[in-house]
Structure 1
Amino acid sequence: MFEQLLLFFPGAFSLWLRLWGAKIGKNIYWTSGIQVVDRSLLIVGDNVIFGGQVTICSHIIKPRRNNLLLYVKTIEIGNNVFLGARSSIGAGSKIPDNEYIPFAQQIYPKNRLSYQK
């Protein structure tokens, strides 16, 4: 709830993430409902727009044989990127500069897909 309150003040959410160790560029537009799970493992370039209810998670747990495997990797978002509402970005994803991610896309771990505009 505290983080959602920060969204009402320009620059406050970016500052909050920087305090956690994230590398956040300039002119970032955060919308309500955004969820950043691993704040210190996020790199965001300049002029990025996040649609409503975007989820960013830099870790994933998956079954492996008779055990569980924890995969943790930084997420990198380039400059001039638009992330459509309800999109999810997984651990290790790298979104290049000038990218447009449509509504409700799932960017899976290690995914480096390029969407055409």
Structure 2
Amino acid sequence: MVRSVQSVSKARDKWCMYMRLKVKIRLGFYFFFTAVVFISVFLPEVSLLFIIAQNVENFWLWIGIALIMPVTYFLSIIVFGILHSQVICKAFLPPIKAGSYSHGSDIAYLYSVAIVSPSIFKSMLKAFSFVPHLYSLLIGKFLSLYGLKTGKNVYISSGTILDSHLVSIGSGSLIGIRSIISAHLTESNNLILSPVTIGKNVTIGGNSIITPGATIGDNVIIGINSLVKKDQVIPSNTIYAGTPAVFIRDNITQ
């Protein structure tokens, strides 16, 4: 009986080691191909810089390349986003599903990488935040490559920290500057993943925090510096504010 238990324990340990090795290999391929795509898509910019270095006295060449560089950089970002999100992430990272996962588990390990996978793309897009209005209107559409769901005319202010997975924002909504919308958190050594749903024509005040599982109805105003708690449900046509956010009054202006 003891030998049987020991055999089962050894078999289980070997299986766990095999699965952990499999995860490490999977992530190794993910990081390797991410680096390959990153280097490949920015070769045009490197080539242009090399041309400048070889022709430092050619003024008109400098002008021409200065005009071309923003366009090639923008196209490189888009190509990277498409290849990274639609090919590499889908090949090596699992689709994120809501639930509670132990931080020691393989799936939590993979999900943690998947959550931060859009970070490189987001950092690249910040280069265009000097055109704030255009950037805020387009950032949601770009992040839809990584799973963010947005309606029409969604305005996401600069400095916003936003999960791309398990987040849905309705048409005509505005996310205030430096807000945080997170569909994940750590609780009792578990990774908690829960969808965040923001309705249509919602205004999230600046520096506010929307936590996992929050549901905000249509035509809602969340005051600045507010905290919408985990799994909190805010009805449509209302105004909430505070830390935590509490009912202020009905939103009768809509």
What TM-score range do you get, normalising by the shorter chain?
0.7 to 0.9
Give 1:4 shift: 2.7
Aligned-CA RMSD value: 1.6
Q: Report percent identity of matched pairs.
A: 27
For residue 39 of structure 1, give the secondary structure of its aligned residue in structure 2. Answer: coil
Q: Which has the higher strand share?
A: 1
Q: Pick the structure with more helix per residue.
A: 2
Q: Which residue of 1 aligns with 2:73?
A: none
Do residues 30 (structure 1) and 30 (structure 2) align?
no
Within 5 A, what are the aligned runs for 1:96-115? 96-114=217-235, 115=240
* Counterpart pick for 2:173 among 32, 48, 51: 48
TM-superposed deviation, 1:84 = 0.2
Instruction: Tell me the equivalent position of 1:5.
Output: 127
Output the TM-score relative to the length of structure 2.
Answer: 0.42
**Which one-letter code corresponds to 1:2 in the other structure?**
M
| C-alpha contact (below 8 Å) 1:73/1:91 kept by paired residues | yes
CA contact (8 A) 1:43 1:77 kept: yes
Q: Which runs of 4+ in 1 moved over 3 A?
A: 5-11
The CA distance in 2 between the partners of 1:3 and 1:59, in whole Å, is 23
User: Is the 8 Å Cα contact of residues 17 and 40 (structure 1) preserved in structure 2?
Assistant: no
Count, aligned residues? 112
List runs of 5+ in structure 1 lacking aligned partners: none
For residues 74-110 of structure 1, give each alpha carbon's deviation from its aligned partner in whole angstroms, at most 9, with x where no partner exists: 1100000000000000001011000000011011110
Letter aligned with residue 93 of structure 1: A
Residue of structure 2 aligned with 1:90, choices 211, 236, 244: 211
Name which one, 1 or 2, has greater alpha-carbon Rg: 2
What does residue 196 of structure 2 align with?
75
Q: Structure 2, unaligned stretches of length 5 or more?
A: 1-122, 241-248
> 1:59·1:73 contact (CA, 8 Å) conserved in 2?
yes
Q: Give the TM-score taking structure 1 as reference length.
A: 0.86
Q: Which has the higher contact order (CA 8 A, sep 6+)?
A: 1
Shift of 1:6: 4.9
Instruction: Say if 1:78 and 1:97, in contact at 8 Å, map to a contact too.
Output: yes
